[in-house]
Amino acid sequence: MHPFLGSADLTPHFERTLRLCKVRPGETVLIFTDALFPHYAYPGAALAAASALGAQVYILTAQSDQHIEDKVIKAAWTHADMILGMSFLPGSHSWMYADVHSQALAAGARVLMVQEPPATLKRLPPTEDIRRRGLAGAQLMEQAREVRITSRAGTDLTLRKDGRKGAYQCGVADEAGRWDHWPTGMVYCAPLEKSAEGVLVVQPGDALLTSRQHARSEVRLTFREGKVQSVTGGPEAQQIAALLAAAGDEGAFRLAHAGWGTDPRADWRTVGMDSESLQGAITVALGRNIFSSLAPHCGLGGVNRSRLHFDMCLRGASLYLDGRLIVDEGRMAVEGL
């Protein structure tokens, strides 16, 4: 199959999602991908779907080692109405944390990340219920100043977020300056970079999302003044410690974001966006969080420019906002969330 012919069974799914993203006749839609992106049918299916909605559609394919801040990429991104990001560039961290992405959002683009496998896209389409749960949670997160995460395994981690946004994802980018990821359902914030205090414990069976695996042994991270002081445990702890050291910057040892999942349909057995999205699962990430947006309840607003971004997803943990229990050992404790 030619890489841009797409897949007939995928096109209706892309058209449905693009309708939710309010793609209109005459708009410019940019599909950004790279030569090694594994889901080769996506650009063609998205092109067919956006064309059916009357948009002017372009596919920009970068080299697999292309610098994401290239002037051609920047020009395309900052002049598009809608961008579909189908790429894992630049590799060490997602393009969502690149300056060119924030610049595109500031110019009014709507940006939708599409990277999960076809079966996941079809299984977890955006819904109004996921949007409602996310918005309600983001409003609570926005008002809060302190986030505390605990677990029976020994997690007791406190974060400050004074002045930082409360954000959510629901798989739809439908307003100027909004980024989202299809499929996703989650609420999160970027804590103040020097605020983390306490211990985070990853248990066997929790998801090390960036490594695309479930942990087989315990990982214990101790934080003081916002920075990881020690990483102890089994083989996965050694791997994480090596990744932090290899990043070569202090930011790798500080938190990027924290929050909870909102989608009861997510399947914990599938390591990927299911891991972050599962309702009541807690995600804590280390590293880069440069991601700004003018849209409400979108973006992180962090200042960590680390080369690393590493997500960890926990089941059975609890989360408090300013002392109010929001997630109780993996179950939502607030009606409507």
Report the range of poorest mean pLDDT among 64-78, 113-127, 273-287: 64-78
Instruction: Kindly tell me the sign of the dihedral angle through the C-alpha atoms of 330, 331, 335, 337.
Output: positive
- For the record, the structure tokens of 197 come out as 């205090």
What is the pLDDT averaged over residues 96-119?
Answer: 96
pLDDT above 60 (res 58): yes
**Proportion of the chain above pLDDT 90, given as a percent:** 93
What is the pLDDT averaged over residues 68-72?
Answer: 90
Q: How confident is the model at residue 331 (pLDDT cuts 50, 70, 90)?
A: very high
Cis check for the bond before 125: say yes or no (omega within 30 of 0): no
Residue 71 has a pLDDT of 93
252-271 pLDDT, tens per residue? 999 999 999 999 999 999 99
Residue 64 has a pLDDT of 86
Contacts of 302 by beta carbon, 8 Å cutoff, 6+ apart: 164, 190, 193, 256, 257, 288, 289, 290, 291
pLDDT above 60 (res 328): yes
Residue 295 has a pLDDT of 96
Out of 34-38, 88-92, 148-152, give the one with best mean pLDDT. Answer: 148-152
pLDDT above 60 (res 100): yes
Q: How confident is the model at residue 4 (pLDDT cuts 50, 70, 90)?
A: low
DSSP β-bridge partners for residue 279: 261
Q: How confident is the model at residue 30 (pLDDT cuts 50, 70, 90)?
A: very high
What mean pLDDT, rounded, does the chain reach? Answer: 95
pLDDT above 90 (res 92): no
What is the pLDDT averaged over residues 81-104?
Answer: 92
Q: How confident is the model at residue 101 (pLDDT cuts 50, 70, 90)?
A: very high
- 89 vs 34: CA distance, rounded Å: 8
Residue 2 has a pLDDT of 47
DSSP letter at 144 equals -
Residue 77 has a pLDDT of 97
Cβ atoms 107, 78 nearer than 8 A: yes
Question: 3.40.50.2300, 3.40.50.10600, 3.40.50.720, 3.90.550.10: which CATH number matches 11-115?
Answer: 3.40.50.2300
Residue 5 has a pLDDT of 52
pLDDT above 50 (res 303): yes
What is the pLDDT averaged over residues 201-229?
Answer: 97
- Element (DSSP H or E) covering residue 101: helix 99-106
Cβ atoms 230, 200 nearer than 8 A: no
What is the pLDDT averaged over residues 195-219?
Answer: 97
Report the range of poorest mean pLDDT among 34-38, 52-56, 64-68: 64-68
pLDDT above 90 (res 158): yes
Sequence ranges of the domains in the chain: 11-115, 128-332
Residue 287 has a pLDDT of 97
pLDDT above 90 (res 160): yes
Residue 1 has a pLDDT of 43
Report the range of poorest mean pLDDT among 21-25, 90-94, 202-206, 234-238: 90-94
- Element (DSSP H or E) covering residue 82: strand 82-86
* Main-chain dihedrals φ then ψ at residue 251, nearest 5 degrees: -60, -25
Burial 79-97 (b: 16+ CB within 10 A, else e): ebbbbbbbbebbeebbbbb
